[in-house]
Amino acid sequence: MPYLLLTGASGYIGSHTAYCLLKNTNYHILIVDDLSTGFKENIAYLQECFEERVSFVQSNINDISKMRTLLLHYKFEAVIHFAASLIVGESVLKPLEYYTNNTLNTTNLIALCIECGITKFIFSSTAAVYGEPHTSLIPIDENAPLLPINPYGSSKMMSERILYDTSLAFKNFNYVALRYFNVAGASMDNTPQILSNHKGLGQRSKNATHLIKVACECACGKRESMSIFGTDYPTKDGTCIRDYIHIDDLASAHLEALTFLQHTQTSNIFNVGYCKGYSVKEVIDVVKEISGMDFKVIESARREGDPIELSAKNEKILSLTQWKPKYNDLRVIVKSAYEWECSLK
């Protein structure tokens, strides 16, 4: 039975993608994760749902000897690479850590794929590679200038370039880089029974900074208040606008990226978003509406490096793959996130 390697898949996006792949294909999956930011609960739930089709090795991908052994043994059909450091503010304070964890480790993993004959690579990239695009470029397409403004965005941009150059030098090596926009929500397969047993999949991150999760924590009584960073932007209500994508739709983009690589044997880069943005205030209002709860919102100063607006042109992924988003509705995203947050211990 063919195997896929997923690095860093005990985390939020990786665990949902693993679930999507296991549900919709016959692959077995090996997850390699050091659990530094991930969660054993996600691995346990995947193994409960899919049993022997899910294997787990606790290791940092910087252990090149161990990774080489795994790649040679399993002869993976593809590598889907999530393992990374991903907090923008932290990347400014710890740039060397980010370039090591993101760019260097990715480079080493690509080199091992070449060495071990693995020809398909799916890379977890980010809209942060675009930096602060001018509003005239919004919604932004994949050909827009790459001008990251922090080490996190730069580390991902460099990794994309390394993939590109490698694919030129090794003609049978192909990759897809998926530039994520603002992912949110929880698995749509989380039934009330699953949630009542404190199981399922969703965003478990401690000390989260993602808007929808923070607002849901407030609505569940886990936080007393939250802040809006900047209310004087040139938008309809003065707050930043972002393109929020449901986690299940983002997960399915990885399945379609794999199919694309198998059918075309070419490389590509795709934005993954809905081509529609919502303001911070709009999101908070929807969380309050869905939850029926009011909570304190503090208006604070702008954060450096927050673009006014960021949304994705998604015509490319829609036209070149079979990706069809199912949950392009802010209320659906928020409802799934809120129900998950309320169930989370």
Please indicate whether residue 152 is annotated as part of the active site: yes
- In whole angstroms, give the CA distance from residue 183 to residue 113: 28
* C-alpha pair distances (Å), 285 with each of 129, 211, 282, 296, 330: 29, 12, 5, 12, 11
**Best CA proximity match to 168, nearest among 110, 105, 254:** 110
**Dihedrals φ, ψ of 278, to 5°?**
-125, 145
> Which of 192, 177, 187 minimizes the C-alpha distance to 249?
187
Say how many C-beta atoms besides its own lie within 10 A of residue 328's C-beta: 17
- Burial class for 8, CB neighbours closer than 10 Å (0-12, 13-18, 19+): buried
Instruction: Kindly report the number of other CB atoms within 10 A of residue 294's CB atom.
Output: 9
Q: Please state, as a whole number, how many other Cβ atoms lie within 10 Å of the Cβ of residue 329.
A: 12
Give all strands (DSSP E) within 82-184, no chain letters: 120-126, 174-180, 182-184
From the list 3, 98, 152, 244, the catalytic residue is 152
Active site residues: 152
